Amino acid sequence: MQRLASVLTSLGIVAFAILLGAAASGVTHQLIRLALPLPDGPAGRDEITAALSHLLPAALIAFVAAAWLFPQGLFSSAERVAKQVYTWGTAWGAGSLYLFLMTSDVFPHQLLVGAFLIGIVLFWLGYALLGDDRDVAGRTGLGGRLLAVIGATLRLLLKPLSWLAVVVTLAPLVAAVLYVVDQDFRDAVAEFRVRQNVSVEGDWMTVPINTKTQLLQPIAIRMEPGREVSMLVLERAGRLYRMDYPDNGTKELLIDFAKVVGEVNLEKGALGFDFDPRYGQQGAAAGFVYVYYTSYTPEK
């Protein structure tokens, strides 16, 4: 019964932490930006649902394992709570990484980080309010118990197993940063997520149009009006190509404005294009294409 109470109490703390993390996502984002180059993101109902549906199952598995390994009551000692904090970190890391890699949901990093930090604080406060004074080496009262549980959490860093929990906890944050700053990693993750979440059943499916021609970060593709056997492809660096459809391994460079685009990363670069309504017809606008891009160089 004591083990069941520990699991249920911990799950309640996690659920409450997720809701508070959503409410505090704006503050959390500002704190994250002090250290990590992560963009702002939504923290609405869909993101809360995604966080709950992925973190709670991971937490349930982790807390059941912890209850089996540590049969004492959750707030029976400062060390027991400290172990639950690392268990929560492991569950958070595993659940967040699954959400990041295996689903098509938006990764609400500020909501998740806020929920993680708030969860730790709630576990500490739970011991400060409900813990046994006899466990704190002479320091009694709420403040003494709070210092005791924080100290116990830090002391567990001396044990290798705690560092394994730390590595799992940091994994989704490292992945999120690499996704922002490394284009190759971002492309690999995007392809992996598509493979995990796109089904061949139903009315629509993805198919590999380009299998032979080498392209560098293609961002947009359109069939060419008036030519059913060709398509235009825009690369983020600022180059527009014509390719045969089906792909035969060749491409024709139509426009190269890479020098105007400049540096390509994050939201910078060529982002899209469209044809003039009269494209393919006779007249002055027969070959006009409109390109949307951002221009960034160290000088401007």
Mean pLDDT to the nearest integer, 7-16: 94
Q: What is the CA radius of gyration of the chain?
A: 26
- Do the Cβ atoms of 279 and 286 come closer than 8 Å? yes
pLDDT in tens, 281-298: 876 667 889 999 998 877
Residues written for the chain: 300
- Do the Cβ atoms of 112 and 170 come closer than 8 Å? no
So what's the pLDDT on residue 201?
67
Cα separations in angstroms, 180 against 53, 90, 169, 248? 25, 23, 19, 33
141 vs 143: CA distance, rounded Å: 6
Using a cut of 0.85, tell me whether the model's pTM lies above it: no
183-197 helix and 160-181 helix, angle to the nearest 10 degrees: 100
58 vs 191: CA distance, rounded Å: 25
pLDDT in tens, 199-211: 656 677 667 777 7
Give the number of other CB atoms < 10 A from CB of residue 220: 17
Peptide bond preceding 246: is omega within 30 degrees of 0, i.e. cis? yes
So what's the pLDDT on residue 202?
66
166 vs 164: CA distance, rounded Å: 5
So what's the pLDDT on residue 169?
93
